[in-house]
Structures are given as structure tokens and as C-alpha cells.
Amino acid sequence: MKICKTFAACLTLFAASSVFAASSITIKVGDNWGETHPMAAALDKVFKPQVEKNSNGAITVDVYHSGTLGNEGDLWNGVRNGTIEVAIVGTPMNQEYSTMMISDWPFLYRDLNHAKKVWTGPIADEISAGFHQKFPTVHILSWGPNSARTFTSNKKLTSVDDFKGQKFRMPSNPIHVGIAQNLGASAQVIPLGELFSALETKVVDGQDNGMVTVISEAFYEVQKYLYETNHIIATLEILVNAPFFDKLSAEQQKIVRDAARATAAKAWDDYIASVDKDRQFLKDKGVTVTPCSAADQQIIIDKIKPLTDKLYAEQAWAKPLTDKIKAVQ
């Protein structure tokens, strides 16, 4: 057994052993997106380097993109049970906790900057607190952008009338499914990781995702039309397993939380800046991109009114929360 001969030597040995112990902390981060998606890119450029630098190397961050650790449902279950420390997901839990439907509420924001202000401000913190009460084994660290969702298809899609009779892949979410059905289309739930193949083999005609996802998942290779409806500005949440997080020191918790907030802010800024470039990229690839006029947007809002009326009737939280979001300046 090694014996310290002086107090200073003891302190040095203790510090060295503490650093060694701390260096064993590893955060596995899983997402379901290609590395060019703004959230995925921000994990690589902000979250990983900021956590590792500010913890002086005591915490290592390993990031796994493109569903390497499983699909969205797998990631959600993994972060709940602790097999994954951090996961970036949308709202696979909304059937258990309906308040999370707010992330997919149609035509809720004035523009992307309005959405960013909501999800980097007090409303996000309030919902995160309620989320942890519902799911005690998980904390929401921050809210970043998924995208402003658009519709694509391999069949003509340049107006509201073109939805009729088409088959669209939609997420496993009653809002998304309801929108497609209210527009006269049929909806089929397919995991994102299987979507390219479903489009390529024409199992479905099209899908709804932001242009950034159409690019990162290369859907433009198997889709001919994009209708820029921007019907939902969806979020992605950075989640952390609470038992893991709560065992970190107060300083380490702050490092991780600050990095997550910086990651979301960077992703919002990068996403907002990318929209025009993404649109041009898709045009250059031969995709027919059609903007949704204010008149067509109103037609869509009117057509999906049965869905939104049903949601407001069934969800007591919906009217107060959507009103609060719309009031954010």
C-alpha cells in the first residue's frame, strides 16, 4: 500500500485518483438523424466538445447518428431505462403524455424565429418540469428544431387538391395522421429508418418532413415534388436519463445542461439559416418545389379543422398552452 509522507503528497494522490475515477464517465448520445441535420451536427460541433472541454476530460461523449442505437421508440425506451444516457427524439411518448403533442401542433407559429423563441424560453422550461413529473427517470435538457414540415411525393403535388388519393408515410402520431386524412390522403406509419426503401419501392407515394430531412435522408433521390406547406414546425428534445444525471456532481450537471442548451440554440440558428439553401439544393436536384401561398395555407387550415377541433375538445391543456405560445413576442 502506498503511504503519503506529506500532506501535500496526500492531496496530490487524492486529486489524481479523483480525476481517474471521473474520467470513467461516458455519455452515449443517440439520435435518429443523418449527421448533416442541424441537431445532429450541433451534437458533434457543440455538445461533445463543450462537455469534454468544460469537464477537463472527465466526461467522454460518444455520439451515434442515424438510428445506430435504434429507432426513435428504441431511443426513448433506452433513455428511460438507462441503457442510453442521452437521446434526441421527437414525441414518441405523446400517447402516454398528451402535452407533448404541442411539439407537433399545426400552424402554431408566425415563423421559425417565433418557434425558436418559444422553445428556448420559459415555456420550454415549464413543459420540461411537467415532463419530469410524468416521467421521473428522464429530464428534458433542451428543445431544438426538427424542421418545418413539408410534403413530398413521386406524384404531382403542387396544390391542395393533389393530396386526394395519395398515400403518405406519416409518423406514429394522431396529429400527423389526421392531417393527411383530412387532406384526402391515406396515412401509413413507417419508421424513419425504413422510409427511403418504402418511397423507392412505392409502398407509399410520399411523406412529410422538413427539407433538411429530405436532404439528410436523400429522399430527393426517390421523390419528384415538394409542397412547402410548413404545416408543423416540430421540435427535437435532448433527453437525459435522470438516475445517471442525478449522480453527476452539481458542476458536471451544469456543464451538461449548459451544453445541451447551447446545442439547441446553435441548431435553431443553423436550421433557420439553411432553409433557402436547402430549397435551392432540392431544385438543383430536379425536385419541383412549390411554395404554399397564404390562400392555400388557409384552405389547409380549414380542411384540418375537424382534427384541431377534436384535439381542443379532448385536451384540456391545449387551448391555454397554444394561446400562450401564440402570444410570445
User: CA 329 to CA 326: how far, in whole Å?
Assistant: 8
Angle at which helices 122-134 and 318-326 cross, to 10° = 160
Mean pLDDT of the chain: 93
Q: What is the pLDDT of residues 70-127, one digit of tens each?
A: 999 999 999 999 999 999 999 999 999 999 999 999 999 999 999 999 999 999 999 9
- CA nearest to 146, candidates 179, 103, 109, 113: 103
Predicted local distance difference test score (pLDDT) of residue 1 = 40
Predicted local distance difference test score (pLDDT) of residue 14 = 41
What are the Cα distances from residue 319, in Å, to 14, 280, 290, 316, 322?
56, 37, 32, 7, 5
- Range with the poorest average pLDDT among 2-11, 47-56, 58-67: 2-11
Mapped onto helix, strand or coil, the DSSP state of residue 275 is helix
Q: pLDDT band at 4, cuts 50/70/90?
A: very low
Tell me how crowded residue 299 is: count the other CB atoms within 10 A of its CB. Answer: 16
Q: What's the rounded mean pLDDT across residues 128-139?
A: 98
Is 166 a residue whose pLDDT tops 70?
yes
Tell me which residue has cell 411539439.
103
User: CA 112 to CA 185: how far, in whole Å?
Assistant: 27
Q: pLDDT band at 45, cuts 50/70/90?
A: very high
Q: pLDDT band at 21, cuts 50/70/90?
A: very low
What are the DSSP calls for 214-262, one per residue? HHHTTGGGS--EEEE----EEEEEEEEEHHHHHHS-HHHHHHHHHHHHH
Predicted local distance difference test score (pLDDT) of residue 19 = 38
What domains can you pick out in the chain, each with its CATH number?
22-326 (3.40.190.170)
Q: What is the pLDDT of residues 27-43, one digit of tens each?
A: 999 999 989 999 999 99
Q: Residues 6 or more apart from 79 whose CB is under 8 A from it?
A: 85, 86, 87, 89, 138, 239, 240, 241
Does residue 64 contact residue 31 with C-beta atoms inside 8 Å?
yes
- Range with the poorest average pLDDT among 11-25, 67-81, 279-293: 11-25
Tell me how crowded residue 3 is: count the other CB atoms within 10 A of its CB. Answer: 7
Does residue 39 contact residue 46 with C-beta atoms inside 8 Å?
no
Indicate the residue type of 88: I
Predicted local distance difference test score (pLDDT) of residue 2 = 40
Tell me which residue has cell 436547402.
278
User: CA 40 to CA 189: how far, in whole Å?
Assistant: 23
- CA nearest to 321, candidates 101, 32, 17, 171: 101
- CA nearest to 154, candidates 221, 232, 228: 221
